[in-house]
Structure 1
């Protein structure tokens, strides 16, 4: 009797274990959505898995062993850049710190629209770094170019994807899958994957939402488009000073304004269009423009404050610039990706040291100019130089704990943007004062 009782117990245990496995192996959970003329964010639960496999877009694939991800944001949450609402942390904070590459999100959605209106999906407005959207196993589109061995990343902008229509009445069921690529350039402690959930709704509602999303994107980078125009106009005024044929030189000031305009405009161009890829933008800004901008502004203030009796200064600035260019290139994740991590860390450390050297030299020139030319216009020029320096040395100020961005009216405005907004009219005044002074000196005396 004991043996038979033991066998019966084992049989029951096996049945329970098998039953639990069958329950765990259920297909993708179905999220039920009821729509009228409205939109609903698809916060989850999403099935998530790192890696890449074309079969993961299929409706027949069993993703029950995948982990679950919830994209529900905290009340009032937004990103730390332009203020996009609905922000959640990426996979680096969800158990995949340091991972870059492919990952997939899957969700089965049953939609009861209550109307015959076509359904659309608004793509996620913030993704590290780009994505493709599959619905019922078919590619509908996405952001970036996936034709190469590695995707080419462009700025993720608001997008609309019409969903397939259904001939049957009642709820429509879709298998929605996102294939996400995170570029090593975007690696960070809070980064990875989808940060703002996609939104489903009727065509009219999604169209209105799309307009609001674009307005937020436009507002977030409009300052980066307007300020460069002002810099170029100031450069034209400076060129007018050069034509005055005085003993002063302003060539470096004109060059500094134009280079800064290119650096600032990069943000708007990248996020508003597909003109610049992430890689090309990184080369232009991190490797080329940032070193040149620091060098140009250092030499521009050297000339403005007449601190040009030190012949070594030009060679020192040139040497710092070359070192910055070389080590900025060595430190980029896409350059020599198989190089030892220690080399990348050493390169980044060298760049930090060069930037500190530039900052010290920059402040030394301002201080020396104020001491030697103690007059009201010099103090105004020193203030202008400090305002530019707030934008140029943003990384160093961040390291000191100085707040870097504020969100007036829900739109992110960086510390440097405020500084440049004050600098532009101040430099205009300084150029005007010098132009008037040169004009008076050129008038014939009675």
Structure 2
């Protein structure tokens, strides 16, 4: 797949080339003069300087293979005449595969350099063609793929020394070419042949190597290094914000592309053969697709994880068909995979943009542009294979100094530039949001510190103990214990919905209202707190621009314990307290802030000396272990007669996921009777 493999290595090459173009010397010589058209039978040489000549032809050309075709005495007059300045497809030849021979006879005496310096021959292959060169029937050199059994390597320019000419002063040069079965050859595997003195050909070889680096190596090398740099940058962002895994997958995506680039370089420099390059390039392209889908999945927070996982597995399995020799099945699956890959990525980005994720919308157009540009290249190459357009038109490239690039390179440059810009914008935005969140959490903690008293008003009648274990965020837990003039205790405990500063502020509102309430009756206090919270929620809704903002509510339990052990309790949706290891049954009541004018039922219980009453938040009951099991009411009841610290630590060790608050009241001593004023206190 071109988009996921080879083409993906070029995303922002042109942007880098602007910076690095000045660092590379202009190594190109002036265009060589072209020979005039010659009759097919006259093998001619076109001078290109004092000691150089371009052997453009006509060459004699024959498809097939026969060792006798290297013999200078062979009559090749029946062979076709071709020139190297035009592709075979433009000379009337159909595409072929396998072997073909080129032959030309030159007059070496006319080209002999001054001083008797021997002649050298410089051959520039086209693409992956393998060459073996014969002079007067003797092999003088070959490309790497022709040493022993033929194998496919990317062919590099060859500098070969020619032997002494024959008695008549001529040298018959025969070039045997080969490409592996299945490679359709339409251009011809011999691209350029130059003849001249050794030192001049050495200079021409340096120019050819420089041109090859300019046209095929430098941009890819720089781009691979750039992707490694971006991968390192993505890793740094991930370590800075570990809960944002999209940065890690961005780094892995860039590493995948960089590895693919390294593989491409090893192939272009003829370090590895096609038999090694093909499976590596095959798999790395599919790995790129799978990693890109994972990056987009994490980036957009898409919910279709199971479906995407299935697609990723399918992408990684497809190359096995090619390795098993099922090329036709693989071609069908490959095209399908490319269409599915592009469609999925574009859909996920579009869907995220529609959900309000602006960064996804910024990435949408460049990604589509890169995909369309790659498709254009594919269509042009297909049209060239069908000979509907010329190879030159299909492979047209632009130049920026000595460096060349194509239309798709610019598109991918825009894509990667937008990717980097979006990631930087996202990182800065998330960092700012986290700073604001941390500031809110710090403010909320300072507020909540006032809602959780550190000293409790114990006396000879009651021994109080509390434990508060916050989770990472700041919740809405609160409790207060107020001594009353008659020696009784007034206790309120609750949990405001939500997290962060808003929950802490709502809890502080309730605590302030509780401490300023002149009533000492639990049911009346809950009615007052309900009205206060509804009023506060109305004010917040009026100030908020978000019409869908969730109105805050709070569970709450309020109790008054007298010196003689009687206890009045009213509950607004909070967990019931425990008495001596048993849950106290209370009438149900709606949480505060739900219905205006809500009234709450109050009940009375009698406590005995030595009893313990426990008030707690839902952080105890809802503690959850790694297996997803809740601490639950049964375990809570089993530990409900223990100290507050023991209960809190037991729930925390089980698996805390919310703030834990526990208040323990131990009845140490009781008075025999209540005063007349206390007896007349109303009960609801």
* TM-score, with length taken from structure 1: 0.75
CA deviation map 1:233-283 (0-9, x unaligned) = 111111122223543212332221111122234433322x22121232222
**Which of 364, 382, 405 is the aligned partner of 1:382?**
364
The residue that corresponds to 1:432 in the other structure is 424
CA deviation map 1:301-331 (0-9, x unaligned) = 1211221x1132332322430453234445x
CA contact (8 A) 1:131 1:142 kept: yes
* Separation in 2, partners of 1:303, 1:293: 15
**Which of 322, 346, 351 is the aligned partner of 2:334?**
351
Greater relative contact order, per chain length (Cα 8 Å cut-off, separation 6+): 1
CA deviation map 1:287-312 (0-9, x unaligned) = 212222122112211211221x1132
CA contact (8 A) 2:227 2:257 kept: yes
**Which of 37, 49, 67 is the aligned partner of 1:54?**
67
Judge which range, 427-436 or 360-369, deviates more: 427-436
**Which of 86, 89, 99 is the aligned partner of 2:87?**
89
| Counterpart secondary structure, 1:59 | coil
**Which of 261, 266, 270 is the aligned partner of 1:269?**
266
* Separation in 2, partners of 1:320, 1:394: 26
The residue that corresponds to 1:256 in the other structure is 253
**Which of 397, 401, 411 is the aligned partner of 1:406?**
397
| Counterpart secondary structure, 2:106 | strand
Trace 1:38-437 onto structure 2 (pairs within 5 A). 38-65=51-78, 67-73=79-85, 88-90=86-88, 97-111=94-108, 112-113=110-111, 115-116=114-115, 117-126=117-126, 129-149=129-149, 151-165=150-164, 172-188=169-185, 190-194=186-190, 196-221=191-216, 222-250=218-246, 251-271=248-268, 273-285=269-281, 287-307=282-302, 309-329=303-323, 335=325, 344-375=327-358, 377-383=359-365, 385-386=367-368, 389=371, 405-408=396-399, 412-437=404-429
* Separation in 1, partners of 2:59, 2:378: 39
* Separation in 2, partners of 1:166, 1:312: 72
| Counterpart secondary structure, 2:145 | coil
| Counterpart secondary structure, 2:423 | helix
* Separation in 2, partners of 1:355, 1:277: 26
The residue that corresponds to 2:565 in the other structure is none
CA deviation map 1:31-54 (0-9, x unaligned) = 466686232211222222222222
* Separation in 1, partners of 2:257, 2:350: 23
CA contact (8 A) 1:301 1:385 kept: no
The residue that corresponds to 2:567 in the other structure is none
C-alpha distance 279-47 of structure 1, shift in aligned 2 (>3 A) = same
CA contact (8 A) 2:263 2:277 kept: yes
C-alpha distance 219-435 of structure 1, shift in aligned 2 (>3 A) = same
CA deviation map 1:163-209 (0-9, x unaligned) = 224698xx842111111102235315x24432x23111223332332
* Separation in 1, partners of 2:47, 2:243: 75
| Counterpart secondary structure, 2:285 | helix
CA deviation map 1:211-241 (0-9, x unaligned) = 2222221111211111111111111111122
Residue 422 of structure 1 and its aligned partner are, at CA, apart by 3.0
| Counterpart secondary structure, 1:427 | helix
Residue 60 of structure 1 and its aligned partner are, at CA, apart by 3.1
* Separation in 1, partners of 2:405, 2:277: 21
CA deviation map 1:338-392 (0-9, x unaligned) = xxxxx643431232122111121111111111111343x4433435544664677
* Separation in 2, partners of 1:381, 1:56: 58
CA deviation map 1:396-430 (0-9, x unaligned) = 67589998753226854133322333344433333
The residue that corresponds to 1:8 in the other structure is none
The residue that corresponds to 2:50 in the other structure is 37
Higher Cα Rg, which structure:
2
* TM-score, with length taken from structure 2: 0.51
Judge which range, 353-362 or 36-45, deviates more: 36-45
C-alpha distance 397-44 of structure 1, shift in aligned 2 (>3 A) = closer
| Counterpart secondary structure, 1:139 | strand
**Whose helix fraction is larger, Structure 1's or Structure 2's?**
1
CA deviation map 1:111-146 (0-9, x unaligned) = 313623332111124255211111122222121232
Question: How many residue pairs get matched?
Answer: 383
| Counterpart secondary structure, 1:124 | strand
* Separation in 2, partners of 1:437, 1:41: 61
* Separation in 1, partners of 2:49, 2:255: 52
* Separation in 2, partners of 1:405, 1:301: 33
CA deviation map 1:85-109 (0-9, x unaligned) = xxx213x665663531112111111
